[in-house]
Amino acid sequence: MRRISKEIRANGVSIGGGSRITVQSMLNTDTADTEASKAQIKRLAEAGCDIIRFAVVKPEDARAIYEFKSEFPYMPFVADIHFDYKTALACIDAGIDKIRINPGNIGDEDRIKAVADAARLKRIPIRIGVNGGSLEKHILAKYGSPTPEALAESALYHASLLERFDFDDIVLSVKSSDVITMIKANRIIAEKCGYPIHLGVTEAGTKRTGLYKSAVGIGSLLCDGIGDTVRVSLTDDPVEEVRAAKALLESLGLSSPLISVVSCPTCGRTQIDLIKLCDEFDSIIPELRPSRPVKVALMGCAVNGPGEAAECDLGIAGGKGEALLFKRGRPEKKIPYDKILQVLREEINKL
Ligand code: SF4
């Protein structure tokens, strides 16, 4: 069962309160290079990213927010700020939808109050993002290392600083590059507070390794009902993060794709190049326009294929240099190998 958390909103998009689990990513362009940043925002939006974060290093960089907001008014933008409360105030002033800052790192209480007051006035939520490398000295001294308990205590400590100034539009994240630590830390904060939780494994690695760490870390917590928004961190194009996060949510039935694919692993009965066909099909999915969600089966042989994919709307089962097209498990016609993709495209667009 899903954990009930407080609902917060960023530019009309809900996080928590039982709302749809949103997908986030972060620009890897220089924020001040607005042309390159806007091009990346466009690609992320097309890939289905729900919320986009970017680093704001100094107050002058907040100027980019005006441009981003005027070109993508529907997109919730999050400014990622470290240490500098003036940069946070500049971003709030420029119309940012949410900020990520750890209030314990910005200095005395007057600064924390200034940020909390400005965010409250503009109804902007704040994400507190704790990870193993950012722990306060007093917490590290207490626990000796970035244990799950230390990460959780740090996140709740930062939250308490904002609460002191009547601010509770808070999202929490506790990340670690160690998957087990990240899972345990999130379970602790999920139990100890009602704030929505942003899930992620930090510095997860490349697409090859990071995907597994994120799938296990984020996936385990989502199976527990914990997590309201996710970011899959990868050392890669941010669009890959969005694709991975969406696939992760789809695999748990937490998001419904327009096109879902089942394909067999191939075996000694396979007589067509199914691996190549599946790769090519994957690449045309964004162009397909069915009027309803469609399940497609790409199977290696006619012996088991149609039966194994009987609940699919459409499928192919490989033969020698050709494939049998079937609908809802019933055979329709044979198609030469080089026409399979084209026929699938036409049939799906008719649905
Ligand atoms: S569908 Fe056919 S080719 Fe694919 S794994 Fe099953 S038996 Fe092998």
Q: Give residue-wise pLDDT tens across range 248-260.
A: 999 999 998 889 9
DSSP state of 328: T
The pLDDT score that the predictor gives to residue 107 is 87
The pLDDT score that the predictor gives to residue 87 is 97
CATH code of the domain occupying 8-251: 3.20.20.20
- Examine domains 8-251 and 259-350 and report if their fold is the same: no
Ligand 1 atom with the shortest distance to the CA of 265: 5
Question: Residue 264's CB: how many other CB atoms inside 10 A?
Answer: 20
The pLDDT score that the predictor gives to residue 231 is 97
> Ligand 1 centre from 213 Cα, in Å?
29
Instruction: Give 107's contacts (C-beta < 8 A, 6+ positions apart).
Output: 85
| Cα-based distances in Å from 175 to 16, 231, 233, 266 | 18, 11, 11, 38
Question: Tell me, what amino acid is at 245?
Answer: A
- Domain parsing of the chain, residue ranges: 8-251, 259-350
The pLDDT score that the predictor gives to residue 307 is 77
Report the alpha-carbon distance of residue 79 to residue 99 in Å, rounded. Answer: 5
How much is the pTM?
Answer: 0.88
Nearest residue (by CA) to ligand 1, atom 7, is 304
> Ligand 1 centre from 314 Cα, in Å?
17
pLDDT tens digit sequence for 314-331: 999 999 999 999 998 888
Average pLDDT over residues 174-202: 96
Which residues are bridge partners to 175 per DSSP?
A: 131
Mean pLDDT of the chain: 94
Cα 327 from chain centroid (whole Å): 33
CATH code of the domain occupying 259-350: 3.30.413.10
Question: Tell me, what amino acid is at 117?
Answer: D
pLDDT tens digit sequence for 67-89: 999 999 999 999 999 989 999 99
Nearest residue (by CA) to ligand 1, atom 2, is 301
Q: Which of 157, 148, 151 is nearest to 135 (CA)?
A: 151
Residue 201 has pLDDT above 80, yes or no: yes
- Residues having CB within 6 Å of any atom of ligand 1: 264-267, 269-270, 299-301, 303-305, 308
Nearest residue (by CA) to ligand 1, atom 5, is 266
> Ligand 1 centre from 331 Cα, in Å?
16
> Ligand 1 centre from 57 Cα, in Å?
53
b/e per residue, 310-330, with b = 16+ CB within 10 A? eebbbbbbbbeebbbbbeebe
> Ligand 1 centre from 272 Cα, in Å?
11
The pLDDT score that the predictor gives to residue 91 is 98
| 246-248-254-257 Cα dihedral, nearest 10 degrees | 40
